[in-house]
Structure 1
Amino acid sequence: MPKLSQKIVVPVVYVAAVFMSILDSTVVNVTLPVIARRFDVQPEQGHAVVIGYLLSLAVFMPASGWLADRYGVKRVFLAALALFVAASALCGLAMSLPELVVFRVVQGAGGGMLVPVGMTMVLRIFAPAERPRATRLMNIATIIAPASGPVLGGLLTVQLSWRYVFFVNVPIGALAFLFGLLFLTGGADTVATRFDVPGFLLSGTGFAAAVYALSEGPDRGWDQPDVIATGVLGVGLLAVLVLVELRAAGPLLNLRLLGNRPFRTGISVQVLSSGAFLGVLYLMPQFLQTARGFDPLTSGLTTFPEALGAMASIQVIARIYPRIGPRRLQLIGLTGLAVDVGAMGLIDLSTPRWQIIVLMLLAGVSMGFVFMPTQTASFATMPTEHLGQSSALYNVGRQLGSAGGVAGLSTVVAALGSDGEGPGLIAYRAGFFTAATLALLAAAIALTTRDADAASTMKPRERVGDRG
């Protein structure tokens, strides 16, 4: 069997696996009404299909770093991929809603480990100076997946069946698994400490409770007993988690890594920018369908250009990052995002569709200035032995930022009431202005980014004395 360069193998399996994992967070939303009708349940009961997946992600993502260190990134990644693919097939074969929810939980367990462990593989195989170009490839999955979810879900549901929303993962995942099994190398595994059971119980329960409250609060109301209980429980357990993990000799989530300045700044920027961007990706389809009367497929096609804008800009950013550094790129992107999303708050019921498409395209272009520089700079000074746990922590922050952004914008829209048939134009405008504010807050934090901290990921500037 010929050996392939790991700098080819790792990005291939990472992009394939992570695309499926992130896609599954959004693709099912379009199919929920169909699933509810198929199993003869109320639409709100069908929402358990999404909640089960998100809760499982929240439980297993924090443990991914320890598992990768203990058993090796190749074994954990392939095991997570196999679990995800098998659960996807079972989801497509489910004969009742409870069965589907259980299989979605299993699917989330695999998905919760795929992203951080895959990121660890990429960070370990590429030297800091090579990561800008590698991150350009990595971000393809994280950009296209959430935007293509509504489009792909609508097409598969209308043309085939809701079951193919899950079946589509099987051939892609099987090929990625076989490719990884044949060509991924084990690599050098670090020595892990004893499994942190208190940290796992606190993080799993705390994050799951917080995600449940953030997911259910905007739709059902923050005054619901279960939402209040899980919200308070989540905050309380996460507060205890911080105290326990800071004192633990071998913590599951090494919060001491936040003492690394570029990593701390990067996570902060990422949480706020993810909240703004993913919040807009959630809010715009809602506006188009409820206020403008677009069908799900037309809505998805209207918002999808953001992925094209991000992909295009990342190709440029990856080439100029080594000479410019992260700080100015982040500021340009976040300021541009704030202006663009603020402009979304000015659209009305008669705004031409092409103008909305342009705004979504520009939002993607702006985020292209943020994705790659932030991720690359965050790990610039992180020691190799801490890449597993720092990847887990980074992705936990991204997940909470996304959930918090969607919940926050949804709450703003719901709080401003409706026009009798759904949220009114003023409510949606307030939601977009809130997202713009989150982008500005991220820009304020990006001001503290230091290009010198990311020097290892940049080309050294030519000194005058070195010129011929």
Structure 2
Amino acid sequence: MSKRKVVVLVYVLAMFMAAMDATITNVALPAMGAAFQIPLSATSAINVGYLVGVAMLLPIAGWLGDRFGTKRVFLISLSIFTVSSFLCGMANSLVTLNIARIIQGAAGGLLTPVGMAILFRTFTPEERPRLSRMIVFPVAVAPALGPIIGGFLVDQLSWRWIFYINIPFGILAVIVGMLFLEEYRKETRERFDGKGFLLSVFGFSMFMYALTQGPSQGWTSPEIWITGVLGLSFMIALIFVEWRAKDPLLDLKLLNEPLFRIMSIISACSAAALFGMLYTFPLMYQSALHVSALNTGLTVFPEAIGLMISSQLLPTSLKKLGVKRLMILSLTGSVVVFALIAFLSASVNPWIVRVLMFSVGIFLGHSVGALRATAFNHISHGSMARATTLFQVQYRLGSVLGVAILASVIGLADLIGGSQTNPITYQWALFGSAIFLILSLIFAIQLKNTEKISEAPSQKARAS
């Protein structure tokens, strides 16, 4: 088996687990609440714990990969993720489940950036559009399959199997990775940025907690606004500390590179739009349009099919249109489709909804594929781990921010005397998703016409 095929296989298996885990737990929360005899509102801590775990270790992923080797860190993280999945399934109380979820989140926080670093060191910028054809499976299909597989497992077996399902994938990826992956370790040993680490741990975890719990507990709750203000303060302090640090945990100077900076912002805004829509639409479809959970999942699934098709078309589209024109056209199409989704009513034909979801995959899939294929064009191999970490931090914050804002819009229905069974409530939230895409479009317009996929990465460290 060739080195490149091994890298893709291990990455796909690992990302499939992590990506599906983000959506598979949602359909199992009622069953978990019943098993532990707790109210449904208390089960949100299960997902919050995972996000907090991600926030704790995600910022140090780049440093760990450079210091101890990307192969070693990736495989250890993958092993911990697999073991913690088993512990989640074996949990006999909410406390033990939350502890296992935090450990699982911490391992998941390392997997994506370290895996991306391995992937982008293996494939040149010229090869990355074609690479998207292979790695689209975990990105597109896993999150869409999550609710469908989760619903089946909960109904036919037990909620515990939504965690056990990770074990065979994890074991296979670890074995293949141990046998075939090659190690990469940065030659220069940089000091650990302890101050940056503490600020990032408290800042990201507290800010994410406030964002995810604010819509349900209320933004005026002392617990929420105090946690949010403290988390935001730590994050602002982190920016000043990291900008001046000699060996920063988050290398913010990489944002001096124009292409990487613009693509990172577009990625964060697009994540806010997509995850916000995928959170809001199922709620509207079930609560306001009175469609079953299974049919809702099947209706959303064409979005994944569109993403897969767009990944096959991406190399040709990039070659014919160029980076800037493709980004502008795909984001414009995404804005139009998101706006049309916001206008859906109870009388709409389900196939119209499926066509719109398929269109989301086609348009947004092109923009996401293009930015991932080009964002790291001018990043050197030595800075790749730091760049992928910074990219993932912004992506995670964007996705959480999008869901939090749109959930708050839905929550406003109670404050203004409305009803959460009224489609208008969700339509306003879906318009919010379109606004995030408009922001992405504004930044895409700033791209240079001269940006090409064929440019080779600079071998000189950028702003390191």
Using structure 1 for the length normalisation, give the TM-score. 0.94
1:339 aligns with 2:323: no
Query: Quick one: distance in 1 between partners of 2:208 and 2:421?
Result: 24
- Which of 196, 205, 209 is matched with 2:206 structurally? 209
Paired amino acid for 2:76: A
Deviation, structure 1 residue 253: 0.4
CA offset digits 1:178-224 (Å, max 9, x no partner): 11111111135343311111111111111111111111112221111
Match status 1:284 vs 2:281: yes
Q: What is the CA–CA distance in structure 1 between the aligned matches of 2:452 and 2:394, rounded to whole Å?
A: 20
Task: State yes or no: 1:398 paired with 2:395.
Answer: yes
Which amino acid counterpart does residue 50 of structure 2 have in structure 1? Y
> Residue 194 of structure 1 aligns with which residue?
191
Q: Are 1:328 and 2:325 counterparts?
A: yes
> Which residue matches 1:121?
118
Q: Which residue of 2 aligns with 1:430?
A: 428
What whole-Å deviation, never above 9, does each CA across 1:314-373 have from its counterpart, x for those lacking one?
Answer: 110123324432211111111111100100111111112221111111111111111111
Q: Measure the CA separation in 2 of the matches of 1:323 and 1:337.
A: 20
**Counterpart for residue 463 of structure 1:** none
Q: How many residues align?
A: 455
AA of the residue aligned to 2:64: L
Q: For 1:457 and 1:181, locate their aligned partners in 2 and report how far apart those are by CA, in whole Å.
A: 32
Of 364-373 and 317-326, more deviation after overlay is shown by 317-326
Q: Which structure 2 residues correspond to residues 156-167 of structure 1 after superposition, within 5 A?
A: 156-167=153-164
Deviates more, 1:339-348 or 1:180-189: 180-189
> 1:381 offset after TM fit, Å?
0.5
Aligned partner of 2:139: which letter?
T
Counterpart contact for 2:259–2:375, Cα < 8 Å: yes
SS in 2 for 1:153: helix
The answer to whether the 8 Å contact 2:264/2:391 transfers is yes
Distance 2:103 2:32 in 1: 19
- Counterpart position of 1:363: 360
Aligned pair partner of 1:8 in 1, 5, 9 = 5
The reply to whether residue 309 of structure 1 matches residue 306 of structure 2 is yes
Letter in 2 for 1:160: L
Report deviation, 1:42.
1.5
2:442 to 422, 441, 444: 444
Using the size of structure 2 for normalisation, the TM-score is: 0.95
User: Residue 465 of structure 1 corresponds to which residue in structure 2?
Assistant: none
* C-alpha contact 1:65 1:116 (8 A) present in aligned 2: yes
Return the letter of the residue paired with 1:228.
W
1:183 aligns with 2:191: no
CA distance in 2: counterparts of 1:125 and 1:278, whole angstroms: 29
Correspondence for 1:385: 382
Q: Residue 234 in 1 paired to residue 231 in 2?
A: yes
Alpha-carbon shift at residue 235 of structure 1 (Å): 1.1
1:25 aligns to what SS in structure 2? helix
Amino acid aligned to 1:271? A
Structure 2 vs 1, CA of residues 451 and 79 (structure 1 numbering), >3 Å: closer, same or farther? farther
Identity among equivalent pairs (%): 38
Gap runs ≥5 in structure 1: 459-468
Q: Deviations over 1:103-140 (max 9, x none)?
A: 01111111000000000001101111111111332232
Q: Distance in 2 between matches of 1:19 and 1:411?
A: 30
Q: Distance in 1 between matches of 2:55 and 2:326?
A: 31
Residue in 1 aligned with 2:91? 94
Rounded Cα–Cα distance in structure 2 between residues aligned with 1:333 and 1:446: 10
Q: How does 1:449-468 map to 2 (within 5 A)?
A: 449-457=447-455
Q: Using the TM superposition, name which of 386-395 and 205-214 deviates more.
A: 205-214
Instruction: Specify the alignment match of 2:141 in structure 1.
Output: 144
1:257 matched residue in structure 2? 254
Cα distance, 1:423–1:195 mapped onto 2, change above 3 Å: farther
Q: Distance in 2 between matches of 1:357 and 1:192?
A: 52
Q: Is the 8 A contact 1:332 1:369 kept in 2?
A: no
Aligned to 2:218: 221
SS at match of 2:127: helix
- Residue identity in the other structure for 2:382: E
Residue 421 of structure 1 deviates from its aligned partner by: 5.6
Q: SS of the residue aligned with 1:61? A: helix
The answer as to 2:68 corresponding to 1:68 is no
Instruction: Provide the alpha-carbon RMSD of the alignment.
Output: 1.5
CA distance in 1, matches of 2:368, 2:8: 17
Query: 1:456: how far off?
Result: 3.3
Query: 2:125–2:374: 8 Å Cα contact kept in structure 1?
Result: no
Q: Distance in 2 between matches of 1:86 and 1:27?
A: 18
CA contact (8 A) 2:269 2:436 kept: yes
Q: Could you tell me how far apart the structure 2 residues matched to 1:14 and 1:43 are?
A: 34
Separation (CA, whole Å) in 2 of partners of 1:174 and 1:407: 34
Cα distance between partner residues in 2 of 1:143 and 1:99: 31
Kept after mapping to 1: 8 A contact 2:132/2:311: no
